[in-house]
Structures are given as C-alpha cells and as structure tokens.
Amino acid sequence: MHVLILGSGVVGVTSAYYLASQGHEVTVLDRQAGPAMETSYGNAGQVSFGFSSPWAAPGIPRKALKWMFQEHAPLKIQPKRDPAMARFMMAMFNNCTPERYAVNKERMVRVAEYSRQCIDALRRDTGIRYEDRQRGLLQLFRHESQVEAVTKDMRVLSECGVRHRLLSAEELVTAEPALARVPGKFVGGLHLPDDQTGDCHLFTQRLADHCREQLGVEFRFNVDIQRIERQAGRIERVMTSAGALSADAYVVCLGSFSPLLMKDLDIRLPIYPVKGYSLTLPVIDDGGAPQSTVMDETFKVAISRFDDRIRVGGTAELASYDLSLLEKRRATISMVVRDVFPEGGDMAKAEFWTGLRPMTPDSTPIIGATRYDNLWLNTGHGTLGWTMSCGSAHLLADLMAGRRPAIDPQGLCVARYAA
C-alpha cells in the first residue's frame, strides 16, 4: 500500500517509521525545508510517560482566574474575537470534572506507557541517539498543597503500573544533585525513574534519515498542502504547491494545522494551537545543572538536560496562530531556570523559541480511522507529543494494517467527540 503522510513533525516521522517498517511504500510531505521545523523543533525535551496528565483537571477553572492577575502565570489568554478559542476553553472546562479527568488521564497514560516500550525498542533497532538520557523526571513542589494533590495522580500511576516515588525535601538531591545548591526552596517531589530526556528535533531528523536510508521512505519538503479532495467516501487526492498527489491511504499529522484542512471534509477536530516558549542555553557548570528533567509544578516549567545544553520550556498562551516572541514570557521561563539552577547555564547565550502545541480539550491525541475509508488521523498530541509519538504511530500502523494492536484503541479516535 502507498501511504501519503501529511506533516513531518515528530508524529509524522514516527508514523513513517512504523508504516515503512511494516512494508508499506511511504511518502511524507511538509511545507518546511526539513523534518521537525515547527512545534517538534524546540520543545522542553521531556519524554515523560509517567507525567502524562490532562491539563483539564479539577480546580483548573478557579486557578485560571487567579493566573490572569499573576505576572509569572503558567496560562495566559490573549483576549481575541476567536470563536475557536472560546469553543476550546468551554470544552476544556467541561473536562475539568474528577470523572472526566480520570478517563482522560488513563487514556494518556495508556498511550504514553506504550510509547516507552516503543521508543526503547526503536533506539535498539535503529541505533539513533539524540542527546538522550534515561534518568527519570522529578516533579518539584514548592507548597504542601501540591504534595497532597499529587496523591490522586499516584493512585492512577499505581493502577497503570508506572514506577514512582514521593521524595522528601532532603531526598530531592538523590535525583538531582544540583538542588543541594538551593536549599529550602522545595518541600518535596515526585520522582518518575523511567522517564527520559532528549532533543526532539535531533530525534526526528535522525529518524527521518534512517527512514530514508534504510526503509526507502520518500520525503518531499517545501511542499505546501492546500486541499484534500474526496470522492464517494474516499480521499482521491491532495492538492499541493507541487501539484496533485494521490496514494492508497492518507495520514494527517499536521499538528495544530490539522483542523484547517479537515474542515472541508466535514471532520471537526477540536484542536487548538496552545502557544509555548523555550530557552536553550549552554551548560557552564555541570554540577549546577540538571542531570535529567525537572518540572517546577508551581510555574509548570520543565528544565531538561541535553549533552552540553539546558532546555527550559513552558507557559501556555491562547493566542490563535500568532508566533510572536513575547519578552514577558521569556522573563517567566528565565526566572524559573535562574531560581532552580542559578549556576547551571549561560543565560546571556540563551536562544528563545516558540511553538504551537496541538491541544485537544481532553489532552488525549486523536489516533485512528475517520469516516473516509482511506483517511487516518494521528494528531492533537498537545503538551506531550514527543512522549506519545512512538506509541501513537505504532498503534496507527497496526490499525491501518488491520492487525490487533498492543494497546486498546478505545476512546482514542475522533469518534469520541461525537459521543
């Protein structure tokens, strides 16, 4: 079967890898000059299976109100006349009940835990490296209330078999020795020893090279996808800046831009672009830098270690497709990295970046079939798209082949929004 994959972010390239590994002829299209040049370029670098949690959680509507008046808030909303933003916020708030949170968390952890197995196997099978580390993630708490709140998540983690341990303030240094330099700042933390770290852009580039060289995948860059045309319940062709292209099957991996092309096919994808920012700075003192990923729960900022760089990522801004780099947001993530690892990196040489998380209101990706026989979706991975990419792509390839997948696909396809 010839499969046309639309989009060469981390989700498109992992989809290409599993589909080509199963013997399909695969072509990948993207408007950029190479793989992972949009949201998959500068993310926070956490491959955090155990940390997969919906943003829509009980108490969030109240916190969102409070954040509106805080300087360094994790969520910012730019008031715009944007019906899509209003719909997204309503749908997200509807997912903030304890019942919906439990359903959504289980779905995310199901995909994420499977992703852990898949990425470990992928590293073994391809030999690719991407400044990766397998040393866990530490969620840091500044307040006792955060420690109390995490006990609910720990119950779900136990049910899903995810290893975790609550650390006291004194024990934090066993996971991240540099925290000894900021005593008294944190009251405890949750350690997830099986989580991982690495550079998503490097991962996607190297996997794309492997796909091209070892599996015969064709990548066509600088191609703008303009329209998808249907005929009697099937997709007939994709209209692009390089002309009309057809295949036996089509997979949409366009991240935040997926809903725009699905509209004409009468498929409503509730994906909204949630803007985030990152800084990348060179390490100047290894002993003062993180060894893996830490997540500052108060500011929802993640700080990850690559070989000789530190990546800091965070903030969520609802501002439609605007990609301007706002200095106010830079100030927030700079403040957090200075506060937690004051001697680790060289802030004067930091690179500032922004990207659009393809968020669904239930934080769960959309993976699987559509009403068109030959159109498949693998999109909407939101906050943890790299973390969930390998499991999502493997699941999709199995579903497309009519194989029994390793995890239950229930509740993951777009049909869940019709229910």
Ligand X SMILES: Cc1cc2nc3c(=O)[nH]c(=O)nc-3n(C[C@H](O)[C@H](O)[C@H](O)COP(=O)(O)OP(=O)(O)OC[C@H]3O[C@@H](n4cnc5c(N)ncnc54)[C@H](O)[C@@H]3O)c2cc1C
Contact residues for ligand X, defined by CB under 6 A: 7-12, 30-32, 36-40, 43-46, 224-225, 253-255, 257, 276-278, 302, 313, 355, 357-358, 379, 381-387
Residue 149: CB minimum distance to ligand X, A: 21
CB within 8 Å of 89: residues ≥ 6 apart: 77, 318
Measured CA to CA, the distance from residue 137 to residue 58 in angstroms comes to 23
Q: Please name the helix (run of DSSP H) or strand (run of DSSP E) that holds residue 280, with its range, or none.
A: strand 272-282
Structural tokens at position 262: 């699905």
Residue 71: CB minimum distance to ligand X, A: 19
Residue 387: CB minimum distance to ligand X, A: 3
Nearer to ligand X, 254 or 294 (CB): 254
Residue 311: CB minimum distance to ligand X, A: 8
Nearer to ligand X, 9 or 136 (CB): 9
Measured CA to CA, the distance from residue 413 to residue 264 in angstroms comes to 19
Residues in the chain: 419
Nearer to ligand X, 153 or 195 (CB): 195
Structural tokens at position 97: 């009940």
Residue 140 has φ and ψ, to the nearest 5°, of -105, 135
Nearer to ligand X, 78 or 151 (CB): 78
Residue 245: CB minimum distance to ligand X, A: 12
- Quote the crossing angle between the two packed helices 10-21 and 98-126, to the nearest 10°: 60
Q: Which ranges constitute the DSSP H helices of 304-418? A: 327-340, 385-400
Nearer to ligand X, 295 or 400 (CB): 295
CB within 8 Å of 51: residues ≥ 6 apart: 137, 139, 192, 195, 295, 384, 387
Reduced to 3 states, what is the DSSP secondary structure of residue 264? helix
Residue 277: CB minimum distance to ligand X, A: 6
Nearer to ligand X, 236 or 285 (CB): 236
Nearer to ligand X, 21 or 280 (CB): 280
Nearer to ligand X, 179 or 388 (CB): 388
Reduced to 3 states, what is the DSSP secondary structure of residue 287? helix
| Pairing outcome for strands 366-369 and 301-305 | unpaired
Residue 318: CB minimum distance to ligand X, A: 13
Residue 76: CB minimum distance to ligand X, A: 13
Nearer to ligand X, 160 or 187 (CB): 160
Residue 35 has φ and ψ, to the nearest 5°, of -75, 155
Contact 33, 415 (CB under 8 A): no
Measured CA to CA, the distance from residue 217 to residue 210 in angstroms comes to 9
Contact 364, 107 (CB under 8 A): yes
Q: CA torsion angle for 305, 306, 312, 318 (degrees, to 10)?
A: -130
**Partners of 188 in the beta sheet?**
141, 168
CA 387 to centroid of chain Cα atoms = 6
| Closest CB to ligand X: residue number | 385
Measured CA to CA, the distance from residue 41 to residue 10 in angstroms comes to 9
Residue 234: CB minimum distance to ligand X, A: 21
Nearer to ligand X, 51 or 372 (CB): 51
Residue 99: CB minimum distance to ligand X, A: 25
